[in-house]
């Protein structure tokens, strides 16, 4: 039985004529599958098809802008406050998942105000199912980049991240926790749970239940996994709980409150025409 795993994966899939990395591919696959999942739910409930493209733009923008600004303000404000133009240099890395979550929340609220005219909870309860899958795929991308791993471990599934400069500097000769895999497994399991809740248990008829479960299922495992994950920035070394843990607590509390809110209110009735609202309008016109 091996005492460790040597991880020497190449983060690049191809380098010519353009560079395509596993991380980007996982992100793209996640968005493509997620878009189709949300489209299926919108059609199931008779929402307008045109909402899909609008929601995609809001969510994509909110994710990138929120994740970037989250990294800037939560982790490296001392640096970026002196070099503000570099905030735009997203190709150099530096995205924070908590910032991305805040960005998506704001994007959905704006989508609800300007487009759907429905409660944001209706959109959240459908969208987060796809986001759970995307989160797992992104962590697989982190694994392929040999980044965001954990402390040294003697467990037989520890990874030696031989392509990581940080590993050579701090852990050379020692295996480390593959925390990317730990998080990915949690997120994929959450995705399965949310799909079951929506399609088998009718959880969409309890506004906020799926969204609350998502927040708990994403950020509670993240809170505990952070105990064995390396600090992202130097100032976290003096903290009892690191920045990722402090940022996770409000999301877990919000999730618990949403679950309680959803379970204490009666179910709402939802028709399931299994066709887009635009298709209904077209069908009516064709009969005239």
Q: Is the residue at 99 inside a domain?
A: yes
pLDDT of amino acid 256:
98
Q: Is the residue at 259 inside a domain?
A: yes
pLDDT of amino acid 114:
94
Q: Is the residue at 126 inside a domain?
A: yes
Q: Is the residue at 163 inside a domain?
A: yes
pLDDT of amino acid 77:
84
pLDDT of amino acid 286:
43
Choose among 43, 93, 24, 35: nearest CA to 59.
Answer: 35
pLDDT of amino acid 1:
54
Q: Is the residue at 40 inside a domain?
A: yes
What 3-state class would DSSP assign to 6?
strand
Choose among 147, 124, 137, 133: nearest CA to 62.
Answer: 124
Q: Is the residue at 63 inside a domain?
A: yes
pLDDT of amino acid 257:
98
Q: What is the pTM of this model?
A: 0.89
Buried b / exposed e over 235-265, threshold 16 CB at 10 Å, is ebeeeeebbbbbbbeebbebbeebbeebeee
Number of structural domains found in the chain: 1
Q: Are 188 and 133 within 8 A, CB to CB?
A: yes
SS (H, E, C) 184-234: HHHHHHHHHHHHHHHHCCCHHHCCCHHHHHHHHHHHHHHHHHHHHECCCCH
Q: Is the residue at 286 inside a domain?
A: no
Q: Which residues form the domain of 30?
A: 5-281
Ranges in the chain, pLDDT < 50: 282, 285-286, 288
Q: Is the residue at 288 inside a domain?
A: no
């Amino acid at each position: 039985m091996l005492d460790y795993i040597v991880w020497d994966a190449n983060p690049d899939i191809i380098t010519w004529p353009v560079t395509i990395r596993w991380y980007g591919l996982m992100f793209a696959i996640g968005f493509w599958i997620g878009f189709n999942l949300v489209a299926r739910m919108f059609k199931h409930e008779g929402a307008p098809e045109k909402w899909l493209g609008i929601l995609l733009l809001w969510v994509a923008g909110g994710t990138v802008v929120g994740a970037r600004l989250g990294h800037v303000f939560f982790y490296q404000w001392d640096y970026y406050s002196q070099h503000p133009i570099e905030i735009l240099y997203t190709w150099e890395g530096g995205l924070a998942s908590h910032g991305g979550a805040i960005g998506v929340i704001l994007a959905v609220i704006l989508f609800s105000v300007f487009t759907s005219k429905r409660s944001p909870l209706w959109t959240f309860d459908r969208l987060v199912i796809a986001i759970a899958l995307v989160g797992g795929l992104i962590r697989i991308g982190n694994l392929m980049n040999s980044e965001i791993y954990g402390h040294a471990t003697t467990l037989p599934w520890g990874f030696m991240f031989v392509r990581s400069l940080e590993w050579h500097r701090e852990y050379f000769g020692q295996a480390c926790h593959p925390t990317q895999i730990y998080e990915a497994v949690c997120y994929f399991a959450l995705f399965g749970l949310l799909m079951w809740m929506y399609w088998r248990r009718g959880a969409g008829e309890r506004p906020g239940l799926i969204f609350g479960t998502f927040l708990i299922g994403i950020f509670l495992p993240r809170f505990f996994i952070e105990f064995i994950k390396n600090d992202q920035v130097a100032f976290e070394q003096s903290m009892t709980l690191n920045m990722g843990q402090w940022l996770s607590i409000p999301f877990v509390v919000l999730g618990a409150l949403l679950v309680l809110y959803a379970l204490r209110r009666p179910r709402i009735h939802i028709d399931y025409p299994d066709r887009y609202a635009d298709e209904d309008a077209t069908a009516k016109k064709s009969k005239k």
